[in-house]
């Protein structure tokens, strides 16, 4: 029995479209987006645009949540392209530290718990005072490392080629966003990318990874990290504390 001409044409059109998509290795979740503002871009291209925009921001805020062998970590960071930075680092039972970096100088102020962890003999006299951190102060090193947005963007950059779109709107950021996901050897990463204004990264969830410069045979890993980015290009002033 012959199919009606219209049905035959429709079937042929659908089969041709599927064949072309398969041949190009671009099934629906991998194909270029056909909606603004990323029309015609693949997921890796969108992710690279987000990395470039976030790196170029004159200033931004980051909220970082991760873990260390000593427990959970939360950090609230304000930083700009000049290297000015403020950090509030909470290490759970290990205590809380504030860090200010301005004019190339670093100062820290810690609560009693943090000082007992880092400098037991001086905990009482230094509590709540701004000081120059010792070169051996691991908490100050961690807090200052968070001043550099590349600490997190650099972990995503080598993996953008694995990006696939999830076609979902990211809730909770207050800015319309597209969620993109990808793979690493250690697990899955996700990124929420703004769909209004500049294509800034709004949220980034990273799996564990090798620290930069770690030999391949070393089993050390950085912990998973969740980073929220906000207040792009909004200036802030890091005042140099008096010691």
- 158-179 pLDDT, tens digit each: 999 999 876 555 555 567 888 8
**Which residue is associated with the tokens 């899955």?**
188
* Rounded-to-integer distance, Cα 87 and Cα 135, Å: 18
Contact (Cβ atoms closer than 8 angstroms) between residue 60 and residue 79: yes
Greatest mean pLDDT among 161-170, 182-191, 223-232 lies in 223-232
Helix (H, G, I), strand (E, B) or coil at 47: helix
Does the structure show a pLDDT above 60 at 213? no
Mean pLDDT (whole number) for 170-197: 83
Q: Which residue has the higher pLDDT, 44 or 31?
A: 44
pLDDT score for 166: 63
**Whether the bond into 37 is cis, omega within 30 of 0:** yes
Q: What single string gives the DSSP state of each residue in 91-140?
A: -GGG-EEEEEEETTEEEEEE-HHHHHHH-GGGHHHHTT-EEPPPTT-HHH
Each residue of 38-92: pLDDT tens digit? 878 899 999 999 999 999 999 999 999 999 887 899 999 999 999 999 999 998 8
How far is 16 from 12, CA to CA, in rounded Å? Answer: 6
Say how far apart CA 228 and CA 203 lie, in whole Å: 4
How much is the pLDDT for 1? 47
Which pLDDT does position 237 carry in this prediction? Answer: 82
pLDDT > 90: what percent of the chain?
Answer: 44
Give the model confidence (pLDDT) of 86-125 as tens digits: 999 998 877 889 999 999 899 999 887 777 766 555 555 5
pLDDT at 217: 37
């Amino acid at each position: 029995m012959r199919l009606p001409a219209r049905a035959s044409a429709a079937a042929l059109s659908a089969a041709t479209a599927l064949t072309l998509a398969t041949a190009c290795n671009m099934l629906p979740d991998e194909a270029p987006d056909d909606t603004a503002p990323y029309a015609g871009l693949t997921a890796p291209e969108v992710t690279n645009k987000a990395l470039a925009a976030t790196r170029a921001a004159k200033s931004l805020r980051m909220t970082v949540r991760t873990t260390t062998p000593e427990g959970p970590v939360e950090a609230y960071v304000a930083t700009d392209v000049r290297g000015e930075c403020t950090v509030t680092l909470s290490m759970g039972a290990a205590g809380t530290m504030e860090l200010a970096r301005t004019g190339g100088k670093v100062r820290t102020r810690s609560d009693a718990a943090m000082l007992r962890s880092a400098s037991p003999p001086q905990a009482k006299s230094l509590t709540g005072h701004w000081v120059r951190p010792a070169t051996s102060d691991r908490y100050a090193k961690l807090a200052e490392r968070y001043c550099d947005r590349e600490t997190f963007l650099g972990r995503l950059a080598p993996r953008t080629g694995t990006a696939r779109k999830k076609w979902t709107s990211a809730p909770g950021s207050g800015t319309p966003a597209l969620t993109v996901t990808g793979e690493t050897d250690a697990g899955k990463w996700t990124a929420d990318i703004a769909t209004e204004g500049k294509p800034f990264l709004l949220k980034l969830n990273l799996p564990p990874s090798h620290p930069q410069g770690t030999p391949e045979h070393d089993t050390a890993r950085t912990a998973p990290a969740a980073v929220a980015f906000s207040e792009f290009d909004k200036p802030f002033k890091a005042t140099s504390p008096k010691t």
